[in-house]
Amino acid sequence: MDYFNGIFLGFSVVIQPVNLVYCFAGVLVGTVIGVLPGIGPVAAIAILLPSTFGIPPVTGIIMLAGIYYGAMYGGSTTSILVNIPGEAASVVTCLDGYQMARQGRAGPALGIAAFGSFIGGTISLIILMTLVYPLAAMAIKFGPPEYFAIMVMGLTVVTYLARGSLPKAMVMALVGLVLGCIGTDTISGKYRFVLGIRELSDGVPLVPMVMGIFGVAEVLTNLEKLGDLSVFETKIKNLFPNLEDWKKSTGPIIRGSFLGTALGIIPGGGTILASFVDYSLEKRISKYPEKFGTGAIEGVAGPETANNSAVAGSFIPLMAFGIPANVVMALILGALLIHGVAPGPLFVEQHPDIFWGIIISMYVGNVMLLVLNLPLIPLWVKLLKVPYRILFPLILLFCLIGVYSIDNSLFDIYIMVFFGTVSYILRKFEYEFAPLILAFIIGPMMETSFRQSLIMSNGSFLIFLQRPISAVCIIISIALLCINGLSFYRKKEKLSKLE
């Protein structure tokens, strides 16, 4: 199918009233989630995942994708007005966005964040459309060793980029892989690690686990400091940036679009990485780096563009290879599998309506967000003033209803509470859960590829180094671990000398 036919097919799918409604619902919920600190797109997608079971897969994914990039738009509002990021990818927007608000320029900050996100989202969609076909064609030639090696590299990158310590991230990834082994072995049919619990014979249920880790644990963490946010009281005017603002922002927006897309593609990358790297880049190449942190509009335009571009970028490995690049994509993969749709090299050929429907919906969703965000900013400001002590019971209620509605099983509620409690405790010990979730979802695929590779090679592990793509991925993984180990050793030596 050529691109023009695909685009027309996509529009024909998206303009169906039900898909438009769900797209709007997704971007609206996503914006609200992004505005409200304390709950991020991962938790929101996990909570709303069960609501997609009764609707066609393309409609469900359109809504879930809308939540993801909607949250990127919404997160900038809180960062600029309250100096608290609505979600993690908007952390750097606080640095200059809030300063602009204090200088009476909240309007242009919010405006450039919205326009930059729109432009970045559009450019990254064009890149997505362009790259998926050739990458899918390449992926058809992949065998089990290549798939195994790519997944190992993805996990390694996620652990390398974890904000905490590398060993802790590696432990979380390994625990995630082990959790993925619980249940029935698909090849031999034997039960593994079910510990006599009948409900575990199908494995640990994904949605309750994710809701526990990102929903319940987040609420428990926020309960430690129940307080109201103080919104910066300023008249928000002149939402449209002036010519000078556009002149300063054009370069960062274009760079952010390409950088964000590229970082979204890398397994383990994503919106958070994209925004941080873009901010560092803009500061480094700016003629006036000292202005960053004091209200430089480039510090808002670039990262906000990059984080929205990374959303479309992260769809590329999912659609071309069937491998999720980050936790959100892992959930969307889970949603597709639940609907009986397997993304991968044949996805575009076998499900062109879903593929093109998702892509065009993202464009339509970006238009909706641009229209939504700017006029509704006063509403988002009011929303920010809702005390968390009123919000948290609602969040917990949505989690409970969402979890129970999957299988009408009380066991799912207990799983959610168990993982919520354990992850709350482990967060105190500075463990991160993104590696665990990604490992849990791709673990079974990794195991299948691993076992098939060994059968192919008659038991030789060298097969992973004998095939070029697999070898490159393994070498990159080893290199990342060595780089980290080396810097760790140097830091320890430095500290020993200081002693």
Partner 1 sequence: MITGSFKTRDVLPNTIWMIMGISITIMAYNLDIGSFQNPGPGMYPFLLGILLFSISLTVLVYNLRNMGLFKKKEEAIWADVEFGKIAGTIAILLGYGLLLERLGFSVTTFFSLFFLFKIIGVEKLSRALVWSILIVISAYLLFIVALKVYMPSFPWEDLMNILH
Residue ranges in 221-260 that form contacts with partner 1 under rule CB under 8 A: 223-226
Shortest distance in whole angstroms from residue 387 CB to partner 1: 8
Per-residue x/- marks for partner 1, 186-205, CB under 8 A?
A: -xx-x-xx------------
Q: Rule CB under 8 A: is residue 496 a binding residue for partner 1?
A: yes
Shortest distance in whole angstroms from residue 415 CB to partner 1: 10
Q: Which is nearer to partner 1, 175 or 383 (CB)?
A: 175
# chain residues binding partner 1, by CB under 8 A: 72
Of 166, 210, 354, 473, the residue at the interface with partner 1 (CB under 8 A) is 166
Of 74, 450, 470, 473, the residue at the interface with partner 1 (CB under 8 A) is 450
Shortest distance in whole angstroms from residue 495 CB to partner 1: 5
Of 16, 238, 294, 405, the residue at the interface with partner 1 (CB under 8 A) is 405
Q: Which is nearer to partner 1, 156 or 286 (CB)?
A: 156
- As given in the structure block, the two tokens for residue 43 are 């938790």
Site for partner 1 in 168-187 (CB under 8 A): 170-171, 174-175, 177-178, 181, 185, 187
Span of 219-227, 260-268, 312-320, 322-330 interacting with partner 1 by CB under 8 A:
219-227
The three-state DSSP-derived secondary structure of the chain is CCHHHHHHHHHHHHCCHHHHHHHHHHHHHHHHHHHCCCCCHHHHHHHHHHHHCCCCHHHHHHHHHHHHHHHHHHHHHHHHHHCCCCCHHHHHHHHHHHHHHHCCCHHHHHHHHHHHHHHHHHHHHHHHHHHHHHHHHHHCCCCHHHHHHHHHHHHHHHHHCCCCCHHHHHHHHHHHHHHHHCEECCCCCCEECCCCCHHHHHCCCHHHHHHHHHHHHHHHHHHHHCCCCCCCCCCCCCCCCCHHHHHHHHHHHHHHHHHHHHHHHCCCCCHHHHHHHHHHHHHHHCCCHHHCCCCCCHHHHHHHHHHHHHHHHHHHHHHHHCCCCCHHHHHHHHHHHHCCCCCCCCHHHHCHHHHHHHHHHHHHHHHHHHHHHCCCHHHHHHHHCCCHHHHHHHHHHHHHHHHHHHHCCHHHHHHHHHHHHHHHHHHHCCCCCHHHHHHHHHHHHHHHHHHHHHHHCCCCCCHHHHCHHHHHHHHHHHHHHHHHHHHHHHHHHHHHHHC
Per-residue CA distances from 352 to 9, 23, 303 (Å)? 8, 18, 32
Per-residue x/- marks for partner 1, 93-112, CB under 8 A?
A: --------------------
Site for partner 1 in 413-442 (CB under 8 A): 413-414, 416-417, 420-421, 424, 426, 428-431
Q: Rule CB under 8 A: is residue 167 a binding residue for partner 1?
A: yes
Shortest distance in whole angstroms from residue 349 CB to partner 1: 31
Span of 135-143, 220-228, 251-259, 367-375 interacting with partner 1 by CB under 8 A:
220-228
Span of 19-27, 74-82, 113-121, 409-417 interacting with partner 1 by CB under 8 A:
409-417
Shortest distance in whole angstroms from residue 391 CB to partner 1: 10
Shortest distance in whole angstroms from residue 494 CB to partner 1: 10
Shortest distance in whole angstroms from residue 149 CB to partner 1: 15
Residues 6+ apart with CB under 8 A from 446: 147, 148, 151, 152, 177
Site for partner 1 in 324-363 (CB under 8 A): none
Site for partner 1 in 459-488 (CB under 8 A): 459-461, 484, 487-488
Shortest distance in whole angstroms from residue 437 CB to partner 1: 16
- As given in the structure block, the two tokens for residue 93 are 């927007």
Site for partner 1 in 16-75 (CB under 8 A): 51, 54
Q: Which is nearer to partner 1, 318 or 434 (CB)?
A: 434
Shortest distance in whole angstroms from residue 373 CB to partner 1: 25
Q: Which is nearer to partner 1, 11 or 414 (CB)?
A: 414
